[in-house]
Structure 1
Amino acid sequence: MASTASLLTYTDDPVVHEAAPDIAPERRRGRGARTNAAGRFEPYARAAEDDGWDSLADLPPFKTEISYETARKIITRNQSPDISFDRSINPYRGCEHGCVYCFARPSHSYLGLSPGLDFESKLTVKSNAAALLEKELAQPGYEVRTMALGTNTDPYQPIERQYRVTRSVLEVLARSNHPVGIVTKSALVTRDIDILAPMAAKGLARVALSITTLDPKLARDLEPRAPTPAKRLEAVRQLSEAGIPVTVMVAPIIPALNDEEIERVLDAAKAAGAVSAGYVLLRLPYEIKDLFQEWLAEHRPQRLKHVMSLVRSTRGGKDYEAEWGKRMIGDGVYAWTIGRRFELATRRLGLNGERKPLRKDLFAAPTQPGEQLRLFS
């Protein structure tokens, strides 16, 4: 029987990003992506081919693999004019939730991995995140602003149950009275109510939960390892009852797939205790445009052309347009209609009223080892 290695075909030709070969369903069961094409920076294309001995049947399923990173910095800064934060922390690289539309997938290309199945099965833990954060917050001249958690990959994805990196980061922020905003689609965030509730009582914390759809079948297809919509709504209720301000993100809004649910999601969010809401129109940068169309071809083939036609109508005729001010909400008639529907629904429900900014005046920089001794020198 041929080895797995013998099944890999290499070429010195530059990678051409055409339709990638499908991975057998039994090897990707419970995953979002259908393929595992090389990232855009890779000089070689690689594909598994049957050698005539049914060798592909011997390839193992994609299992979650964990590696560890000793990061040199943990706070990522940005100057994007269309997002509300200028600094963030991402405890993990990759995300096991497997959301096929995830805008973070292309970041796996920087690791030499595929934005496809690799993104949701080859994960990296930033094990020194809390220690690094203490050092960075203690730097002279550190200027306090809200720290965002979960801006790239989900800080409460399944491996957080074991590694607890997000919780360790929250503990540092809580000790320092540092404001924090969390974005997640996981009910696991309720585990940390014991940290978040006291912070919220001081005006230091808020949580945004992403609810893409109320349809459990669609949610399972789109986000195979994320909690069900019902569990996310229950998380909204628990957080709200604990005094933690909750925003519900209807994200992404996918034309002709979940756009009809906008009002229903907002109604359910309000009933669960959410105080504000936001939305993001589907974004398909880099490799995601191929991964998403592959997903449509498998799960919603009859809607593929219609969905992509509407997507392109919001992006100047392209699959994606990254222009600031438009990348989150799109442009054109369809995008305008989505915006007005969302605006009317939130106004009707009393969402998105006056929102107080998180406090910055309570911050106390962490004390570094040896710092107290200088008082007696």
Structure 2
Amino acid sequence: MTTAEITARSIITKSNLPEADYVINPYTGCSHACRYCYARFMKRFTGHSEPWGSFVDVKLNAPDLIPEKSGKYRGKSVFLSSVTDPYLPLEKNYGLTRQILERLIPLEPRLGIQTKSDLIVRDIDILKQFEVCEAGLTITTLDDTVRKEIEPGTAPVQNRITALKAMHEAGLTTYVFIGPILPGLTDWKHIIEETRTFTSFYMFENLNMSGSIRDSVMGWLSAKHPSLVPEYERIYGKRNDYWDLVEEEIAAFCSKEHIDGRIFFHHGK
């Protein structure tokens, strides 16, 4: 893992995400090395030659770029993070996310924060100071063997579930981001069953296989789960209704079970 300390010119940027007005990325790059990462396109803006997932640039001055006073963000949704994880292992030492959160409190945004790490529980005391805060954990699979294959740099699944419980018990609004849904490997109903009593709502996203993601995912499947290769080739070959049917199933299940489920599917990819 290559780590560099850099100086950023800005830290709060306009968002293209459907549920966020602004995003904050305390780090450039990521150490999770997820096989399915959609943010790998960011590499071309970094000047790095290393593979995506093997470098992290630490924006040392990020907290100082948060304005002390501004009405610009009051009531606006600010999300951490869109192309990195705010709780990378490096955050234990640098504490950038914690400092950023502290400086955001007086700006009164609607905070959204999502991670694959149980380190988020360290900042429960700060998260509780936001009038609106939605704290989420990503869970792609409950099988930790598969987790190690596709997200080798992330926290164990059980650690994330424990973190969700702790945040719920602290009175925070919690959510689980079930995504990307991996056909044949992600049991989204089971994830809901295991987390429902301490989760406020769920987000669902299907697997995006555009660009270099396809080679990364198919290479992993060929090595670890060859029996699934034909199914993925079918799903991501000619246009078919696989994801339409999955979306309908999720929507029907959530409606029947009175679950707040928010679906963000990419079709035709």
TM-score (norm 1): 0.65
CA distance 1:85–1:72, shift in 2 (3 Å): same
Higher strand proportion, which one? 2
Name the CA distance, whole Å, in 2 between partners of 1:104 and 1:155.
Answer: 14
Question: Does residue 74 of structure 1 match 2:11?
Answer: yes
Q: 2:230 aligns with which of 305, 313, 334?
A: 305
Q: How does 1:286-297 map to 2 (within 5 A)?
A: 286-297=211-222
Q: 2:205 aligns with which of 275, 280, 286?
A: 280
The residue type equivalent to 2:191 in the other structure is V
Question: Does residue 108 of structure 1 match 2:37?
Answer: no
Partner of 1:192: 123
Question: Does residue 142 of structure 1 match 2:79?
Answer: no
8 Å CA contact 1:90, 1:151 repeated in 2: yes
The residue type equivalent to 1:290 in the other structure is D
8 Å CA contact 2:14, 2:22 repeated in 1: yes
The residue type equivalent to 1:76 in the other structure is T
Q: How does 1:107-186 map to 2 (within 5 A)?
A: 107-113=42-48, 118-134=51-67, 138=70, 142-144=72-74, 145-186=76-117
Name the CA distance, whole Å, in 2 between partners of 1:104 and 1:305.
Answer: 26
1:95 CA drift (Å): 1.0
SS at match of 2:236: helix
The residue type equivalent to 1:304 in the other structure is V
Deviation digits for residues 244-272 of structure 1 (CA, Å, limit 9, x no counterpart): 101111100122332xx11111111203x
Count of aligned positions: 261
In structure 1, runs of 5+ residues without a counterpart are 1-63, 317-331, 354-377
The residue type equivalent to 1:168 in the other structure is Q
Partner of 2:266: none
Name the CA distance, whole Å, in 2 between partners of 1:350 and 1:164.
Answer: 38
Partner of 1:5: none
SS at match of 1:269: helix
1:143 CA drift (Å): 4.8
For the aligned residue pairs, the C-alpha RMSD in angstroms reads 2.0
Name the CA distance, whole Å, in 2 between partners of 1:157 and 1:344.
Answer: 35
Partner of 2:138: 210
TM-score (norm 2): 0.90
SS at match of 2:180: strand
SS at match of 2:129: helix
8 Å CA contact 1:256, 1:307 repeated in 2: no
Partner of 1:19: none
8 Å CA contact 1:266, 1:345 repeated in 2: no
Question: Does residue 270 of structure 1 match 2:196?
Answer: yes
Name the CA distance, whole Å, in 2 between partners of 1:105 and 1:205.
Answer: 28
Name the CA distance, whole Å, in 2 between partners of 1:100 and 1:250.
Answer: 16
8 Å CA contact 1:266, 1:346 repeated in 2: no
The residue type equivalent to 2:7 in the other structure is T
The residue type equivalent to 2:254 in the other structure is T
Residue identity (%): 30
Partner of 2:260: 352
In structure 2, runs of 5+ residues without a counterpart are 262-269
8 Å CA contact 1:103, 1:283 repeated in 2: yes
